[in-house]
Amino acid sequence: MAIRPIITLPDPRLRLVSEPVATFDGELQLLLDDMLETMYEAPGVGLAAIQIAVPKRIVVADATRGDEPKNPMFFINPEIVWVSEELFVYQEGCLSVPDYFEDVQRPARVRVRYLDRTGATQEIEADGLLATVLQHEIDHLEGGLFIDHLSRLKRERVVKKFAKAAARAAPVADKVEA
Ligand code: NI
Protein backbone atom coordinates (compact mmCIF):
# COMPACT_ATOMS: atom_id res chain seq x y z
CA MET A 1 0.00 0.00 0.00
CA ALA A 2 1.11 3.54 -0.64
CA ILE A 3 -0.01 7.03 0.16
CA ARG A 4 -0.69 8.94 -3.05
CA PRO A 5 -0.60 12.73 -3.45
CA ILE A 6 -4.00 14.45 -3.25
CA ILE A 7 -4.67 17.06 -5.93
CA THR A 8 -6.22 20.35 -4.83
CA LEU A 9 -8.00 23.38 -6.26
CA PRO A 10 -7.35 24.83 -8.87
CA ASP A 11 -6.15 21.55 -10.45
CA PRO A 12 -8.43 21.18 -13.53
CA ARG A 13 -8.50 17.38 -13.20
CA LEU A 14 -10.94 17.83 -10.29
CA ARG A 15 -13.51 18.83 -12.94
CA LEU A 16 -13.16 15.62 -14.99
CA VAL A 17 -16.06 13.19 -15.24
CA SER A 18 -14.69 9.83 -14.05
CA GLU A 19 -15.04 6.63 -16.07
CA PRO A 20 -16.80 3.49 -14.82
CA VAL A 21 -14.64 0.60 -13.60
CA ALA A 22 -14.93 -2.43 -15.89
CA THR A 23 -12.13 -4.73 -14.69
CA PHE A 24 -11.82 -6.16 -11.18
CA ASP A 25 -8.15 -7.08 -11.23
CA GLY A 26 -5.16 -6.83 -8.91
CA GLU A 27 -4.48 -3.29 -10.07
CA LEU A 28 -7.93 -2.23 -8.86
CA GLN A 29 -7.40 -3.90 -5.46
CA LEU A 30 -4.10 -2.04 -5.11
CA LEU A 31 -5.76 1.26 -6.03
CA LEU A 32 -8.52 0.66 -3.45
CA ASP A 33 -5.95 -0.06 -0.73
CA ASP A 34 -3.91 3.02 -1.68
CA MET A 35 -7.03 5.19 -1.64
CA LEU A 36 -7.96 3.95 1.82
CA GLU A 37 -4.48 4.51 3.21
CA THR A 38 -4.34 7.98 1.63
CA MET A 39 -7.74 8.87 3.12
CA TYR A 40 -6.81 7.67 6.63
CA GLU A 41 -3.47 9.44 6.52
CA ALA A 42 -4.94 12.79 5.37
CA PRO A 43 -7.13 12.30 7.52
CA GLY A 44 -10.49 12.34 5.80
CA VAL A 45 -13.85 10.54 5.98
CA GLY A 46 -14.10 9.97 2.23
CA LEU A 47 -11.99 10.05 -0.92
CA ALA A 48 -12.83 9.78 -4.62
CA ALA A 49 -10.23 8.35 -7.02
CA ILE A 50 -10.03 11.60 -9.00
CA GLN A 51 -8.63 13.24 -5.86
CA ILE A 52 -5.48 11.18 -6.42
CA ALA A 53 -5.70 12.01 -10.15
CA VAL A 54 -7.27 8.68 -11.17
CA PRO A 55 -10.45 9.43 -13.18
CA LYS A 56 -12.30 6.24 -12.21
CA ARG A 57 -15.68 5.95 -10.49
CA ILE A 58 -14.37 4.79 -7.12
CA VAL A 59 -15.08 6.09 -3.63
CA VAL A 60 -13.67 5.00 -0.28
CA ALA A 61 -15.22 6.13 2.97
CA ASP A 62 -15.14 5.62 6.69
CA ALA A 63 -17.74 7.68 8.53
CA THR A 64 -16.93 6.33 12.00
CA ARG A 65 -15.74 8.87 14.54
CA GLY A 66 -13.34 9.05 17.45
CA ASP A 67 -12.83 5.76 19.27
CA GLU A 68 -15.35 3.76 17.22
CA PRO A 69 -13.81 0.77 15.44
CA LYS A 70 -12.81 1.57 11.86
CA ASN A 71 -15.28 0.69 9.12
CA PRO A 72 -13.61 1.07 5.73
CA MET A 73 -16.12 1.04 2.86
CA PHE A 74 -15.49 0.74 -0.88
CA PHE A 75 -17.96 1.92 -3.52
CA ILE A 76 -17.27 1.16 -7.17
CA ASN A 77 -19.45 2.77 -9.87
CA PRO A 78 -21.79 4.13 -7.16
CA GLU A 79 -25.15 5.59 -8.13
CA ILE A 80 -27.68 7.40 -5.98
CA VAL A 81 -30.98 5.61 -6.61
CA TRP A 82 -33.12 7.38 -4.00
CA VAL A 83 -32.93 10.49 -1.82
CA SER A 84 -35.14 11.53 1.09
CA GLU A 85 -37.21 14.70 0.94
CA GLU A 86 -35.91 15.50 4.38
CA LEU A 87 -32.78 17.64 4.23
CA PHE A 88 -29.80 17.91 6.51
CA VAL A 89 -27.12 20.57 6.90
CA TYR A 90 -23.55 19.48 7.50
CA GLN A 91 -20.43 21.58 7.67
CA GLU A 92 -18.41 20.10 4.82
CA GLY A 93 -14.79 20.24 3.91
CA CYS A 94 -12.78 18.53 1.18
CA LEU A 95 -9.21 17.22 1.03
CA SER A 96 -9.00 18.90 -2.39
CA VAL A 97 -10.14 22.27 -0.97
CA PRO A 98 -7.99 22.19 2.18
CA ASP A 99 -8.81 24.21 5.30
CA TYR A 100 -12.14 25.51 4.00
CA PHE A 101 -15.45 24.53 5.58
CA GLU A 102 -19.00 25.61 4.82
CA ASP A 103 -22.52 24.44 5.59
CA VAL A 104 -24.08 22.43 2.76
CA GLN A 105 -27.69 21.27 2.67
CA ARG A 106 -28.36 17.87 1.10
CA PRO A 107 -30.92 15.07 1.40
CA ALA A 108 -30.67 13.53 4.89
CA ARG A 109 -30.87 9.94 3.62
CA VAL A 110 -29.84 8.30 0.36
CA ARG A 111 -29.87 4.85 -1.17
CA VAL A 112 -26.76 4.03 -3.19
CA ARG A 113 -26.27 1.11 -5.56
CA TYR A 114 -22.64 0.14 -6.17
CA LEU A 115 -20.24 -2.69 -6.82
CA ASP A 116 -18.10 -4.03 -4.00
CA ARG A 117 -14.43 -5.04 -4.28
CA THR A 118 -15.38 -8.36 -5.84
CA GLY A 119 -17.62 -6.75 -8.47
CA ALA A 120 -20.88 -7.85 -6.80
CA THR A 121 -23.82 -5.41 -6.83
CA GLN A 122 -24.75 -4.00 -3.43
CA GLU A 123 -27.16 -1.43 -2.12
CA ILE A 124 -26.92 0.64 1.03
CA GLU A 125 -29.28 3.09 2.69
CA ALA A 126 -27.27 5.72 4.48
CA ASP A 127 -28.13 8.51 6.87
CA GLY A 128 -26.18 10.96 9.01
CA LEU A 129 -22.56 11.63 8.14
CA LEU A 130 -22.33 8.68 5.72
CA ALA A 131 -25.24 10.07 3.64
CA THR A 132 -23.41 13.39 3.31
CA VAL A 133 -20.06 11.74 2.56
CA LEU A 134 -21.54 9.55 -0.17
CA GLN A 135 -23.24 12.51 -1.87
CA HIS A 136 -20.06 14.61 -1.58
CA GLU A 137 -17.89 11.84 -3.05
CA ILE A 138 -20.33 10.94 -5.83
CA ASP A 139 -20.28 14.64 -6.83
CA HIS A 140 -16.50 14.25 -7.32
CA LEU A 141 -17.14 11.49 -9.88
CA GLU A 142 -19.07 14.03 -11.97
CA GLY A 143 -16.36 16.68 -11.62
CA GLY A 144 -18.33 18.34 -8.82
CA LEU A 145 -17.03 19.95 -5.64
CA PHE A 146 -18.94 20.84 -2.49
CA ILE A 147 -18.29 24.52 -3.18
CA ASP A 148 -20.63 24.17 -6.18
CA HIS A 149 -23.46 23.98 -3.62
CA LEU A 150 -22.57 27.38 -2.12
CA SER A 151 -23.71 30.82 -3.23
CA ARG A 152 -21.88 32.19 -6.26
CA LEU A 153 -20.25 34.85 -4.12
CA LYS A 154 -18.83 32.35 -1.62
CA ARG A 155 -17.71 29.97 -4.38
CA GLU A 156 -15.94 32.69 -6.36
CA ARG A 157 -14.22 33.91 -3.22
CA VAL A 158 -12.74 30.48 -2.43
CA VAL A 159 -11.81 29.73 -6.05
CA LYS A 160 -9.97 33.08 -6.24
CA LYS A 161 -8.18 32.38 -2.95
CA PHE A 162 -6.86 29.03 -4.20
CA ALA A 163 -5.92 30.45 -7.64
CA LYS A 164 -3.90 33.20 -5.94
CA ALA A 165 -2.15 30.72 -3.64
CA ALA A 166 -1.25 28.55 -6.66
CA ALA A 167 0.12 31.57 -8.53
CA ARG A 168 2.26 32.51 -5.53
CA ALA A 169 3.60 28.95 -5.34
CA ALA A 170 4.53 28.88 -9.04
CA PRO A 171 8.26 28.90 -9.76
CA VAL A 172 9.72 32.36 -10.41
CA ALA A 173 11.04 31.21 -13.80
CA ASP A 174 7.44 31.17 -15.03
CA LYS A 175 7.28 34.91 -14.54
CA VAL A 176 10.36 35.89 -16.58
CA GLU A 177 9.60 38.59 -19.10
CA ALA A 178 11.60 39.30 -22.24
NI1 NI B 1 -14.12 16.14 -1.44
Kindly indicate the confidence band of residue 176, based on its pLDDT and cuts at 50, 70 and 90.
low
CA of 175 relative to ligand 1 center, distance in Å? 31
- pLDDT for residue 40 is more than 90: yes
Which among 68, 123, 137, 142 is annotated as catalytic?
137
85 CA distance to ligand 1 centroid (A)?
23
Query: Among 3.90.45.10, 3.40.190.10, 3.40.50.720, 3.30.420.10, what is the CATH number of 12-177?
Result: 3.90.45.10
Average pLDDT over residues 56-63: 98
Short-list 134, 49, 53, CA closest to 92: 134
* First vs last C-alpha separation in the chain: 47
Please give the distance of CA 15 from its chain centroid, rounded to a whole number. Answer: 12
Quickly state the pLDDT bin for 66 (edges 50, 70, 90): confident
Residue 137 among the catalytic residues: yes
Domains of the chain, residue spans: 12-177
Residue 177 clears pLDDT 80, i.e. is over it: no
> Is 15:52 a contact under the CB 8 Å cutoff?
no
Mean pLDDT of 145-161: 97
Rounded to 10 degrees, the C-alpha dihedral 156/159/160/163 comes to -160
Instruction: State the average pLDDT over residues 56-80.
Output: 96
